[in-house]
Amino acid sequence: MSRLFFLAGALAIAGALRAQEIVRLETRSGVSQLFFIAAMGARKAEAAALLFIGGGGNISLRLEEGQVRFSQGNFLPRARREFIRNGILPVILDNPSDQQAGDGMSDAFRESAAHVTDVRAVVAEVKKRHPGLPVFLVGTSRSTYSVAHLAKALEGEIAGAVLTSSYFYAGGRSRAPMLASFDWAKIRAPLLFVHHVDDGCAATPYLEAARVGKRFPLVSVEGGSPAQSGPCEPFSQHGFLGREAATVDAIAAWMLGRPFAKDVR
């Protein structure tokens, strides 16, 4: 049984609504998994979304002077209020304690049984707190590699998975296929792909998303705000800059089994 430590929480509204908080689970021997549960305010949660950021996965989740702090520039943490508006409880994961150093989670770790163990514990804890609430995995950029492998391993424990700006190729000169060579038939959970048609990151080309979209639901996003970062960084089309609200609207509608926009313009 994992030990649970409650580190922080904001004031609950009228004492009846669950406040935002940081939670730490001991998931493996000597290893802890930290994650943030957002406050829904007056909105009732209809589903929960475990959000995995891109890059190395670190969000530097911490408590400072009684306030929850974490890196919020990535598309998914940046759009957490859009999930709340749609009735989706955002649960934002930091890296486990043994993956905090250096560049964070490697691709090898993202495929590992240890990663599955950590995330399985988070899924179980969310379900314990919110009985009957469907739990989805949502990744962006490099974390979609995690989500694909986790969705395969957590069959029957999650309601589905969403892959945004999917990590089809490794960066650098190698251009090694990552999700471009993944065997999607091994995943039985429902899948949704979300991709900007003008994603300029070499690791996440829209062409590959369009190919996968012949087999699975695909939300194609266009337009938005001018890029304020490099093409593989979150303040660009890669991170759905200026299209966060409409993109999350489509994701949430799919999660809740409602008609969803397949083209966001």
pLDDT single digits (tens) 67-88: 899 999 999 999 999 999 999 9
The pLDDT of residue 2 is 43
pLDDT band at 171 (very low <50, low <70, confident <90, very high): confident
229 C-beta neighbours (distance < 10 Å), count: 13
The pLDDT of residue 18 is 56
Mean pLDDT along residues 203-224: 98
What domains, with CATH codes, occur in the chain? Answer: 40-264 (3.40.50.1820)
Task: Decide if pLDDT at 183 tops 60.
Answer: yes
pLDDT band at 108 (very low <50, low <70, confident <90, very high): very high
Task: Decide if pLDDT at 15 tops 70.
Answer: no
How far, CA to CA in Å, does 21 sit from each of 11, 12, 90, 156, 255? 10, 10, 11, 27, 24
55 C-beta neighbours (distance < 10 Å), count: 18
DSSP 19: P
Q: Average per-residue pLDDT in the chain?
A: 92
Task: Decide if pLDDT at 54 tops 60.
Answer: yes
Residue % of the chain over a pLDDT of 70:
92
Q: Is 256 exposed, middle or buried (0-12, 13-18, 19+ CB in 10 A)?
A: middle
The pLDDT of residue 19 is 80
The pLDDT of residue 172 is 61
pLDDT band at 174 (very low <50, low <70, confident <90, very high): low
The pLDDT of residue 228 is 97
